[in-house]
Every structure is written in C-alpha cells, then in structure tokens.
Structure 1
Amino acid sequence: MASEQDIYEEHVLDHYEDPYHRGLCEDATHAHAGNNPLCGDKVHVDLRLDDQGRVAEAWFEGDGCVISQASASMLIEAIEGKTIDEVKEFSANEMLDLFGPKLTPNRQKCCLLVWKVVQSALHSPVGEGSDEEEDMSSSFGGPSLGEEQ
C-alpha cells in the first residue's frame, strides 16, 4: 500500500507531466508574469474574467522546477469558476496545502510563485499598462508566510 507521501508525489508528477491549461488564453482579460531570480522559475498567467466576476478561464506558461510548474497547474485548475473575491482570499497557506507535500522554506518559494502571479494578474487588465510578456515585476524571493496579504 502506498504511503500518503507516495500519493502526493504521484499527484505532483501528474500535474507536472500533464499540466492543466498550459498555454496562452487568446481572449484573456487579465495577465501577469513573474519569476524567482534565486532559482530561475518563471510563470506567466492569463485569466479571462466574466461579467459575473468569476474566473471563466485560467491558463499558464512557464519554465522551472517540478514544484513551480506542478503548483501552477494545480492552482490554475483550482481557481477556474471561482469568484474574484474567492481567488483574492486564497492564502499562501492554502496554496501550500493544495500542493500537498511539506516543503522547505526555499522550496515554498517555488510553490508560491504562481500564487503571487495570480494575485497580481487580478489587478493587471490586458492592454492597460506595460506589456505583460516583458513585465517580470513580480520577481519573487517570496513572502514568508507571515507576510502574505
């Protein structure tokens, strides 16, 4: 019988090898990109918000470690259909719980990168401000869990 840790590892690898909505959303209303300069992880998130204030579609692109890319897939899948307020209220601790396996503080930054980018994307309408593809202003040494907003 598989241990709980084995199940989590399989779940993580499933998201890494067969990610949910990896790619770009052609009709995105909001987008943002960020990176973790300490390890090289990069994530770009596209969101299409509907008139009812829900995430109608969520997509991601990125490069990085298994943790950063699997957590991106997990979060993108989890936020579709949620209201904007529900996504804003989703905490860093909830992101770590969604990921599953316990991570060291340095590896938590890999997991939390996509969470930070999604939070920023909610405030980044497409076509307003800087070019989302080039804007890596969400460079992320990562918040400690006590710093989350």
Structure 2
Amino acid sequence: MSEDTNPDWVGEDEIYKENILDHYKHPRNFGEIKNSFCQEESNPLCGDEVKLYVKVENGKVIDAKFVGKGCAISMAATSMLTEKIKGMAFAELEKLGKDDILEMIGVPLGVVRMKCGLLSWRALKKIIEKMGE
C-alpha cells in the first residue's frame, strides 16, 4: 500500500502542520519576563504582533517568552523559537539564520506567510543587536 492509498499513513507535512497547530493552540513560553531584553515586531499585512522577551545571564539564554496575537504561523513560529533558544549561548544566537527558522517551522511558506514565520526571528535579531551594544 502506498502513501497515497494508506489511510493510516501520515505524511511529514501533516506532522509539521499538526505541530504548528499545537503550538498555536497551546503556545509555549507565553508571558512577559521582567528585567530582560525585549523587542516588538508587527506584520501589518496579516495583523501579527509579537513582543519577544529574552533573559540572558553569563552569556547564555536562561529564559525566553513572548506575548502577542496573530495567525497560526506567526504564533507557532514564535512559540517554537522560544523553546529553541533557551539554553543557547550568545554566539549560537548570532548564528541563527532565517533558514534555521524555516527548517524549524517545517512547512513551505509563500511570500506572505514568510513574513509571518520570520516575525519573531526579526525581533530576536534586534535583541541580539541590543545585547551586543
């Protein structure tokens, strides 16, 4: 039985879509962090708004949270990003590129959804700039 005819087969795209919906419905690390670096970003095309908080001690991310509202892609990507960066050293954060974020999201994004998916990464890049000052 092939992937197309087996009703029990779940494709990789479906698993990623389920992961996105799970992070959207049950966001990880939702909330604010006092005494942290924070950055707001928005996507006026979709109405997404994210405020990312990153707390660093001894050159390492000890906590990351966010508040905001938006589409499933932006909220899920931000939730995933906060999980990914916890425990990362500053040097690792600096190397985190948009391809890493797109790989983490796991589904192909069109031009419009790309802005949604990379919203929190843009906030993180600005936080990294602040941290380096």
TM-score, shorter chain, exceeding 0.5:
yes
**2:130 aligned counterpart, secondary structure:** coil
| Letter of the structure 1 residue corresponding to residue 34 of structure 2 | E
Select which of 48, 53, 57 maps to 2:63.
57
Q: Quick check: 1:110 aligned with 2:116?
A: yes
Runs of 4+, deviation exceeding 2 Å: 122-125
Q: CA deviation at 1:123?
A: 2.9
- Return 5+ residue gaps in structure 1 as ranges: 126-149
Please name the residue that 1:23 is paired with. Answer: 31
Q: 1:124 aligns with which of 110, 115, 130?
A: 130
Using structure 1 for the length normalisation, give the TM-score: 0.79
Larger RCO (alpha carbons 8 Å, 6+ apart): 1
SS in 2 for 1:22: coil
The CA distance in 1 between the partners of 2:91 and 2:43, in whole Å, is 26
> Which residue of the other structure, out of 7, 11, 32, is the alignment partner of 2:15?
7
Deviation at 1:6, TM superposition (A): 1.1
After superposition, give the CA deviation of every residue in 1:42-86 in whole Å (9 maximum; x if it has no partner): 1101111002x0111000111100000000000110000001111
2: CA distance between counterparts of 1:97 and 1:66? Answer: 16
RMSD, aligned α-carbons: 1.1
Structure 2 distance, partners of 1:60, 1:109, is 17
- What is the TM-score when the length of structure 2 is the normalising length? 0.88
Following superposition, the deviation at residue 5 of structure 1 comes to 1.4
Aligned length: 123
- 1:26 offset after TM fit, Å? 2.3
> By how many angstroms is 1:18 displaced?
1.1
The unaligned stretches of length 5 or more in structure 2 are 1-8
The structure carrying a bigger helix percent of its residues is 2
Give 1:106 deviation, angstroms. 1.2
Give 1:124 deviation, angstroms: 3.3
Deviation at 1:109, TM superposition (A): 0.7
Deviation at 1:13, TM superposition (A): 0.8
SS in 1 for 2:68: strand
- The residue that corresponds to 1:147 in the other structure is none
User: 1:90: which partner in 2?
Assistant: 96
Q: Please, which moves more after superposition, 1-10 or 65-74?
A: 1-10
**Who is 2:4 aligned against?**
none
Contact 1:32 1:124 in 2 (8 A): no
